[in-house]
Amino acid sequence: MNIAIGTVLLWALALELLRRLRRQDPARLVPVYARTRAMMVFMIPRIFVGLVGAGFLAALLPVDQIERFFGAESGVAGMGLATILGAVTPGGPFVAFAIGAAALKAGAGWAALMAYVTAWSVVNLNRSIAYELPLMGRRFLMIRALVSLPLPLVLGGIMLLV
Amino acid sequence: MQDKDTSAPGGSMPHKLIDGSFLFILAIAVVSGIAVYLLKGPETFWAIFRRDAGFAVFLLPKILAGVLIASALPFLLPRERVLRLVGPESGVRGLAIATAAGAIFPGGPSVTYPLTIGLMAAGADLGAGVALVSGWVLVGLNRTLIWELSFLPPEFVALRVALSLPAPIVFGLVVRHLMAKGRA
């Protein structure tokens, strides 16, 4: 449902942009369509292989046991573990937030939860394989991951202090 | 100096259909696919294949709309304007604009990445590209409002968003600093 609404919104925006372009100069639509075609040819095999590969990889990871690892082990070690778990948690937001909620119920602290959700957001293995690496390339992914990596520990650390 | 790297600064348009990144994800898909087939059985293998291949097909209309937007943007936005807004010299303000764009724009990864490619082709620098993607993954409105608030306590979500808000801008500044050092 969410996807359907997003798709309708995006199509409305896309058609409006194309209408404007055509009013300015219909000839400008030609390179836009050529660019769109080139990009779709580039993206379709990547999205297909990326999604299926991430799906297989996710099946090999014991997702249903992730919240067990949060446990009582808190402090810096717990945050480090939560960061790794966040990075490898596969699936969409539904999975990660459900695991976070389950961990909270099982007694996880806010520091570990903060590190977990933040790591899942910024250095997400699943999303990197399914989308970012194939679409943006290795350089973009490596630089973004490099500068983002400290954030889960920094935010978790702030939670430990307050 | 032999410089065989032909990619444009910041990476603008995809050039090669089959590159190292594609081969890498292909290898992951094949190896983990074989592992699933052997360890979990053919039924699980085909169930996952059908589910995710079906999802990819389901995404196609959305991807097409996103790619049309990303392709049209460089033609609608004059390069000088994009450069001024989110170019290498756009400062903290440019990074804040890129962060906000990432946070507000709906559509998820299949749309946000093409949009980033489109904006970078139109003049945005790598710092702004990183800020845009970071704004989306850290404080994306759609995900926070629809998903996170449904599962986690609102006080936690508010605190996480408040603490995360400066991060995309800091990331962008660090990337620009690294680029300046690497290119100087």
Domain spans of chain B, in order of start = 18-62, 77-183
**CB distance from A106 to chain B under 8 Å?**
no
DSSP of chain B: ------PPTT--S---SS-HHHHHHHHHHHHHHHHHHHHH-HHHHHHHHHHHHHHHHHHHHHHHHHHHHHHHHHHHS-HHHHHHHHSTT-HHHHHHHHHHHHHH--S-HHHHHHHHHHHHHTT--HHHHHHHHHHHHHH-HHIIIIIIHHHS-HHHHHHHHHHHTTHHHHHHHHHHHHHHHHH-
Mean pLDDT of B14-37: 88
Residue B2 pLDDT exceeds 80: no
d(CA A32, CA A18): 9
- Give the residue, B20 or A118, on which the prediction is more confident: A118
Span B43-93, pLDDT tens digits: 999 999 999 999 999 889 988 998 999 899 888 888 899 999 999 999 999
- Give the residue, A49 or A72, on which the prediction is more confident: A49
Q: Token pair of A139, please? A: 């350089």
CB contact under 8 Å between A13 and B150, yes or no, is no
Residue A146 pLDDT exceeds 90: yes
Look at residues A142, A103, A95, A98 and name the one whose alpha carbon lies nearest to residue A123.
A142
Per-window interface: B 19-38 vs A, CB < 8 A:
19-22, 24-26, 28-30, 32-33, 35-36
CB contact under 8 Å between A144 and B134, yes or no, is yes
CB contact under 8 Å between B52 and A52, yes or no, is yes
Mean pLDDT of B159-175: 97
What local confidence, expressed as pLDDT, does residue B145 receive? 87
Residue A92 pLDDT exceeds 70: yes
Span A28-68, pLDDT tens digits: 899 999 999 998 999 899 999 998 998 898 888 776 667 66
Which chain A residue has the Cα nearest residue B174? A147
Mean pLDDT of A87-113: 85
pLDDT band at A140 (very low <50, low <70, confident <90, very high): very high
CB contact under 8 Å between A36 and B67, yes or no, is yes
Q: How far is B79 from chain A (nearest CA, A)?
A: 15
d(CA A78, CA A69): 9
Helix, strand, coil shares of chain A, percent, nearest 5, are 85, 0, 15
Q: What is the ipTM of this complex?
A: 0.87
CB contact under 8 Å between A48 and B56, yes or no, is yes
Mean pLDDT of B104-131: 91
CB atoms within 10 A of CB A142: 11
Q: How far is B127 from chain A (nearest CA, A)?
A: 9
**CB distance from B105 to chain A under 8 Å?**
no
Residue B11 pLDDT exceeds 50: no
pLDDT band at B5 (very low <50, low <70, confident <90, very high): very low
What local confidence, expressed as pLDDT, does residue B108 receive? 85
pLDDT band at B12 (very low <50, low <70, confident <90, very high): very low
